[in-house]
Structure 1
Amino acid sequence: MSRLRHILTRAWIRRGLLAWALRPISLCFEGLVTCRLWLYRQGALQPQPLKVPVIVIGNVMVGGVGKTPVVIALVQHLQERGICVGVLSRGYGRVSRDLREVHPTSRAEDAGDEPLLISRACGVPVWVGANRIEAGKSLLEHYPKTQVLVCDDGLQHLPLARDIELCVFDERGIGNGWMLPAGPLREPWPRAANSSIDRFELSSASSPISGRFQILRELADFAVRADGTRRPFPMGFANPVQALAGIAKPQVFFSMLQDLGLTLTHTQAMPDHANLHGVSIDASLGELLCTEKDAVKLWADHPGVWAVPLITTLPAELLEALDACLDRRLSSHHGLKIT
């Protein structure tokens, strides 16, 4: 499976022989998706609104692009403004299938690693469910003072009405511009303009991409263990160390550690959202560093591993534009006021 994924990922960079061979299937898929989008634009299918403004943060590319750190950064920004926020998520990778609230003490296999990370990092109500509408209704029922809902993923979850969309891209941009399986796109991009939705495009690529707000990402200056113990990073760690990452691009995390002067004796690159129960850690190879997303799963069995938070900074001009869009909605048809 990993070899097939690697082959397809390479094919999606350009329109080569494999991409052209898969193009007929891609056109069929594109036709179905386009038809669905058209039905929503024409009003034949109606998205269902919730009682408060909804911000959806998602992507059109297959694979991780770093949406969850953007969710955390945005939620923390709204909290600083005094806005009561709730978060919705599908809870990808969890073994449970029900609708449920996520608590900081929840298990990753029940809640999903990303919703659990958001709950611990932000301390806001987090609800997971395949049906984001029902999840939103349940959250609002239990937390009626919630003023804004942020949906982690769900750009293609069209039944959920949204007020603002943030589409996140990485260094791949839109790849070869074709839809699955000939390309990496989940839907044709760009979408047709919608006057009722404010849309922003963000890029986590190291080089700015025209027309997209640039996200700044860097490792924190501290690492943390399961018991809350903090240690200065990287100067608080003796070289060498080992590292583990179960994210979309593990090598990016490893490279960030090396760029800070750390020597890695051993690295374990795991699939994104991988179940980390039973992972073997050899203490003789040095202390283990991992991402926060890995830590919420590892700490159950290995409370001594160190998580290095990834600090995501959203540009001021994006936050200013987003705040203006949100304030209009908070004070108008949703009938809410910012306290």
Structure 2
Amino acid sequence: MALQRAWYRNHVAAYLWLLLPLHALFVIISALRRWRYRLSPAKDLPVPVIVVGNISVGGTGKTPITLALVEQLKAQGERPAIVARGYGGKGPFPLRVRSTTAAEASGDEPLLLAQRTQVPVVVAPDRRAAAAQVLQQAPDTTVIISDDGLQHYALPRQFEIAVVDTERGVGNGWRLPIGPLREPVSRLQQVDTVILNGSDTQSQAFLRGATNHCYSMTLVTKKWRRVTDDTEVAALPEGKTLALAGIGNPERFFATVRNLESRSLATRGYPDHHQFSAADLAQLSQYEVLVMTEKDATKWRGFAHKDCYYLPVSATLPEAFWQQLQAKMKGFNHAIG
């Protein structure tokens, strides 16, 4: 986490220059992979593929966008499915994720997606293998959404969405491990759409020059839900409260909670995808009320007490984005028709 904080400063900390040889190796390997698929592009699938991803490590808000895509596509009569890497999951892969799948097997984000969407979700480090299993097990699928697959070029795609957290932007602008970037900022000029998560006007002004299609999304918070049974509650109970988060940017969640709740509360951040256990709960026994993200809640259900709560959120996107996506989908269907 200290390294991530260093990445998101305006300058490169002196000690990060020690990582320059690793940075050069990362850039070379990334370029070779990209050129490999440019010279021999992945063959298209029989259904369109929408990729949701980012050019930086850490959370940017991809999951709410994937949820919004599923909801909108279903409303339009499509039958979407989701493929993902299953980061943090142990498999075996490819793995069909269901609402009852253990987070340890699938990873936390795919489990959340399966629980919220009730559409086919398959995870595998090889996203093309995951897509093949989707089409085999759910042959009525009409569109596949790849969650966090921007750099997985083995999977063909018809529509690329890059999500940028405007609060943190692109950090110091360097690629791993000196900075947070998986690909250069110029990659944003090649995607179909950039979606901005946040309202920082300076970052938005910078990023709006990245592509002709750039939209802001709004995250809407819903009512708190109890972790143990998913029951919606009108208000949190009284008591000493801790907000915890094992996500890419815990401070964003903490700020949201402070805006919602007037009470005094402590905060504790964990590494992204932290595998919570009963031992973590035991270390927090001094707190009567625990609040967390929906992603974290997927790993707390086996040992949470009755005063553990999570906060669902949903993404709202402008109509112009949906029109652009619909035009792209129609173009694909016309080409194969």
- Other-structure match for 1:9: 7
Task: Measure the CA separation in 1 of the matches of 2:261 and 2:108.
Answer: 29
User: Is contact 2:239-2:289 (8 Å) kept?
Assistant: no
* Aligned twin of 1:92: 87
Q: Quick check: 105-114 or 21-30, which moved more?
A: 21-30
| Residues 1:46 and 2:41 aligned together | yes
The question of 1:219 aligning with 2:221 is answered yes
| Structure 2: distance between partners of 1:324 and 1:285 | 51
CA contact (8 A) 1:55 1:151 kept: yes
Q: Report if the CA contact (8 A) 1:265-1:286 is conserved.
A: no
Paired residue for 1:114?
A: 109
Alignment of 1:65-84 (within 5 A): 65-84=60-79
AA in 1 matched with 2:223: D
2:23 match: 26
1:280 aligns with 2:272: no
1:205 pairs with 2:206: no
Q: Measured at CA, do residues 270 and 28 of structure 1 come closer, stay the same or move farther in structure 2, by a change above 3 Å?
A: closer
1:221-278 deviation digits (Å, cap 9, x = unpaired): 343443232112xx45436533221111222212211112332444332211111112
Secondary structure of the structure 1 residue equivalent to 2:114: helix
Kindly report which structure 2 residues correspond to 1:224-239, keeping only aligned pairs within 5 A, or say none: 224-232=226-234, 235=235, 237-238=237-238
SS of match in other structure, 1:242:
strand
Q: Which residue of 1 aligns with 2:271?
A: 271
Give the root-mean-square deviation of aligned CA atoms. Answer: 2.4
Matches of 1:298 and 1:262, distance apart in 2: 25
Quickly say closer, same or farther: Cα 1:251–1:308, change in 2 above 3 A: same
- The separation in 1 between residues aligned to 2:4 and 2:133, in whole angstroms, is 40
Query: Equivalents in 2 of 1:162, 1:90: separation in Å?
Result: 16
Give the superposition deviation at 1:120: 0.6
Whether 1:101 and 2:93 are equivalent positions in the alignment is: no
Question: What is the CA–CA distance in structure 2 between the aligned matches of 1:14 and 1:101, rounded to whole Å?
Answer: 43
Deviation (angstroms), 1:206: 2.2
Unaligned runs of 5+ in 1: none
Question: What 5-or-longer segments of structure 2 have no aligned partner?
Answer: 209-213
2:264, 2:273 → 1: CA distance? 23
Counterpart of 2:58? 63
Q: Secondary structure at the match of 1:61?
A: coil
Secondary structure (helix, strand or coil) at the match of 1:256 reads helix
Deviations along 1:23-69, whole A, 9 cap, x unmatched?
4543443233234323433x2x2213221100010111122212111
- How many residues matched? 324
Q: Distance in 2 between matches of 1:283 and 1:29?
A: 43
Q: Between 90-99 and 290-299, report the one with greater CA deviation.
A: 90-99
For residue 186 of structure 1, what is the aligned residue in structure 2? 182
CA distance in structure 2 between the partners assigned to 1:114 and 1:48 by the alignment: 27
Question: Is residue 6–residue 13 contact of structure 2 (8 Å, CA) maintained in 1?
Answer: no
Report if the CA contact (8 A) 1:219-1:311 is conserved.
Answer: yes
Would the aligned equivalents of 2:67 and 2:314 in 1 still touch at CA under 8 Å? no
| 1:241/1:262 contact within 8 Å kept | no
For 2:229 and 2:12, the matched residues in 1 are separated by 50
**Percentage identity across aligned positions?**
34
Post-superposition offset of 1:105? 0.8
Partner of 2:211: none
Q: Distance in 2 between matches of 1:105 and 1:215?
A: 30
TM-score, length of structure 2 as denominator length: 0.87
